[in-house]
Structure 1
């Protein structure tokens, strides 16, 4: 089978590999149809991922068709599926408490092990969700949107609350879309005028703010100087995360979707006087995947607008390096793997 291998930072190659072994009990083989290119994939290509061994087949935003099943698997061959790329142990404290998304020994496709930039993979059948009613292209976008949906669910949203999403790359846009679906009044903050214009003109978010010297004052004026009941950070920037604390309303919540290597500090008196809730949000669960798929089927997500770029498995070795640096107009690039 064909696969795209990142041999080392800055070097991709289309290679021939043996097909994976036949699925064992509880497993299914999936013929990959589409792969969304994630920020993680760009970081792996650029050598910026701290916990990765090369060479690596990247790719964890995946859709496909069931090709074979092992013993005890109820999925029919030919079933179109969304792939949950977070393989959990099933027995640690997080898994026992229904939080496999933060399993103590989680294995994420394309990061801890080889991923889906290949023609076939074998997965635990429990990580495959039937994608009936969705195109396979759209099914490949469920995972990144589920991360935003999970963050919104973690915030325990109440309709009518003011929410701010800081950083509107694909993950931030996912959080904004599902915050709006939850009934929140959503404002967006970013450094990119282009992305803000896309969010306003294409996705319909009218309260957009570009980061500048007076951004905090403009945002506070937007909330009648009360702040936001929920602030979501999706910047991946430590200074931006620290600045976000001042935008949370008294009694509000701050949800950190981003992961940074730096230590984050904040003024404890400000934190306590607001009785602020600080929430980490990692990955997503089946509940979030199902919520995203239902929302897509109901026409609440503009999938066609989000899928801005397309390529093939053969051409990704040229396209991904270019898109890592030339991001004009880029929201989500999708790799077409098979018919």
Structure 2
């Protein structure tokens, strides 16, 4: 089978590899779509934390079942996606049902080889039924589930102000599910094209350009000087993360979805007097995946708005570097295989 391997930062190689053997407790999938995410882009440019080369990237996947193996209630040829965070099942997090933050987490395409290949063997318990969704939709379930999970983690309530910093693919999902939760959403980014996307496609009324002076004052004006009770960072940028503390309302919650390699710092007195809550949001759970699928089926989410670039599998190596350039306006590149 054809396989695309990221051998070193900035380098892809197509290789002919063997079809995976079906391990005990696994199912064999035939990959149909591969969504390109920020993790893939960061791995390619050499900035992804906890990453080793060579690695087969790809975890936003839609597939058909080639061999259901141990999967109960699944059939050959059935359209599926899957939860790509492979957990151990025995650590403290798993024993408490927090599989998304397993101590021994193995994320497909990050810690173990992913889906940029024709066939992939995955644990049968990770499978998610397609429920009539198309391949494009199924490949978008995972990144949108990241956003849905962060909103559930923050406990977003109807009517409260939520500031989402970063309007990339993950940030857009956060924005969408904050809106679905009934929040008043403010989108913040340094890219005017992405902010316009929020207005045009996601119908977000309030956007803030982080490059302009007076961003904090603009947010204060939007919220009638209350400031957002939820701030969510989806940038993974150190300066943006540390700046986000300054936008938080008293009694607010700050949720970090973006991942940063370095230490972060903030004013303890300012944080303390707000009795603020600081938390991270990692991956997603089956509940989040089902929430996304249900939202798609109910017409609350239109996945096609996210896909800005389409390529065939054999074109990925040539096209990939260009997706890192903001000038190309990539929201989501979708690969057909």
> CA RMSD, aligned part only?
1.2
Partner in structure 1 of residue 108 of structure 2: 109
Cα shift readout 1:44-87 (whole Å, capped 9, x = no counterpart):
21222242222211101111011102246332212211121100
SS in 2 for 1:219: helix
Partner in structure 1 of residue 50 of structure 2: 51
Partner in structure 2 of residue 209 of structure 1: 208
SS in 2 for 1:334: strand
Counterparts of 1:142 and 1:127, CA distance in 2:
13
Instruction: Quickly say closer, same or farther: Cα 1:72–1:80, change in 2 above 3 A.
Output: closer
Instruction: Note if contact 1:28-1:73 (Cα within 8 Å) is conserved in structure 2.
Output: no
Cα shift readout 1:275-328 (whole Å, capped 9, x = no counterpart):
111111001011111101110111111211101111111110111122123543
Instruction: Note if contact 1:27-1:73 (Cα within 8 Å) is conserved in structure 2.
Output: no
Q: CA deviation at 1:23?
A: 4.0
Cα shift readout 1:141-187 (whole Å, capped 9, x = no counterpart):
11111111000000111111111101110111110000000000101
Counterparts of 2:262 and 2:169, CA distance in 1:
22
Partner in structure 2 of residue 62 of structure 1: 61
Partner in structure 1 of residue 260 of structure 2: 260
Counterparts of 2:324 and 2:68, CA distance in 1:
36
Partner in structure 2 of residue 180 of structure 1: 179
Counterparts of 2:256 and 2:231, CA distance in 1:
8
Deviates more, 1:288-297 or 1:315-324: 315-324
TM value normalised by structure 1: 0.96
Moved over 6 A (4+): none
Counterparts of 2:327 and 2:56, CA distance in 1:
23
Partner in structure 1 of residue 125 of structure 2: 126
Counterparts of 1:72 and 1:180, CA distance in 2:
35
Instruction: Note if contact 2:226-2:249 (Cα within 8 Å) is conserved in structure 1.
Output: yes
Alignment coverage as a number of residue pairs: 336
Counterparts of 2:145 and 2:323, CA distance in 1:
23
Cα shift readout 1:228-256 (whole Å, capped 9, x = no counterpart):
11111111111211111121111111111
Q: Confirm or deny that 1:292 pairs with 2:279.
A: no
Counterparts of 1:72 and 1:200, CA distance in 2:
42
Counterparts of 2:317 and 2:71, CA distance in 1:
38
Q: CA deviation at 1:269?
A: 1.6
SS in 2 for 1:56: coil
TM value normalised by structure 2: 0.97
Deviates more, 1:47-56 or 1:145-154: 47-56
**1:1-339 aligned within 5 A:** 1-24=1-24, 26-71=25-70, 73-211=72-210, 212-325=212-325, 327-337=327-337
Counterparts of 2:49 and 2:204, CA distance in 1:
34
Counterparts of 1:327 and 1:287, CA distance in 2:
36
SS in 2 for 1:204: coil
Instruction: Note if contact 2:27-2:71 (Cα within 8 Å) is conserved in structure 1.
Output: no
SS in 1 for 2:90: coil
Counterparts of 1:146 and 1:313, CA distance in 2:
24
Instruction: Quickly say closer, same or farther: Cα 1:285–1:115, change in 2 above 3 A.
Output: same
Instruction: Note if contact 1:3-1:313 (Cα within 8 Å) is conserved in structure 2.
Output: no
Counterparts of 2:100 and 2:242, CA distance in 1:
25
Deviates more, 1:43-52 or 1:153-162: 43-52
